[in-house]
Structure 1
Amino acid sequence: MAMAGRIRSTLPLLNKILRSDSISTHGSIIRPTLLSPQISKNYATAPTKKEDKVKVPLVLFGGSGNYASALYLAAVKSNSLDKVESEILDLVESLKKSPTFSQFAKDLSVPADTRVKAVKEISTQAKFSDVTKNFLGMILIHN
């Protein structure tokens, strides 16, 4: 609390010092060189291209919304959105067709490691993409 008060009380003083005429004559020599874009951007390596931000087409809320958004972003970044979508739809269909598999995936009495290992093996045999495998493993661990 006391530190915040000291900082607040010194900010106007610091501002006044930086704007005073006596320092501005010396500062005019220093400031242009520090603020010059030609000097500030001369690095040893070339600048890297920033990744484009991917936006989710439909904002979802809650735990399932966060998982769905994360899966969408991972699929878009790996350029496998259609493949991941078809794999998830195939998995949902197999869960509907096989009540035993559905119960196994939902049963919390089965240790998470066992469920993850089984689903990873199934997804490997089904030739799912890495995005789908990692997503399924993450869901089984966290649920």
Structure 2
Amino acid sequence: MMATSQFHNVARSLSTSVARSKLIKTPVQVFGIDGRYATAVYSAAMKSKHLEAVEKELTDFQVAFKKDPRLKDYFLNPSLSRSAKTNDMKQVATKLNLTASTAN
């Protein structure tokens, strides 16, 4: 039982180390689920050389989210399915011509 547990831990660390090694380090180290998403977006934006555009697009969305109660209510509404929200965001991203890093 102990050998199986140790093997599982080694296998898991090997599988995540490759993905982490491909990410670009952020200027500020962040943690948790939010940190993982922030690091992934930062890494994708840096690799595609669209960091400023992604920052502007995310800032614009944040402002719209705070100012428009309908937008906020839509995304916080638990009765709407995740797939419906995802499809709607894809359509919005296409209409606004967002960069691939932001749209993803």
For normalisation by structure 2, the TM-score amounts to 0.74
1:66 aligns with 2:31: no
Helix, strand or coil for the counterpart of 1:91? helix
Moved over 3 A (4+): none
Aligned pairs (5 A) from 1:38-117: 54-117=24-87
Matched with 2:95 is 125
Task: Give the fraction of aligned pairs with identical amino acids, expressed as a percent.
Answer: 32
* Structure 2 contact 23–40 (Cα < 8 Å) conserved: no
AA paired with 2:76?
Answer: K
AA paired with 2:95?
Answer: Q
For the aligned residues, what is the CA RMSD?
A: 2.2
Q: Distance in 2 between matches of 1:73 and 1:133?
A: 14
Deviation of 1:65 (Å) = 0.9
Return 5+ residue gaps in structure 2 as ranges.
Answer: 2-21
* Structure 2 contact 93–103 (Cα < 8 Å) conserved: yes
Deviation of 1:96 (Å) = 1.2
For normalisation by structure 1, the TM-score amounts to 0.55
Q: Distance in 1 between matches of 2:101 and 2:59?
A: 14
Q: Higher RCO, 1 or 2 (CA under 8 Å, sep at least 6)?
A: 2
Q: Distance in 2 between matches of 1:64 and 1:96?
A: 19
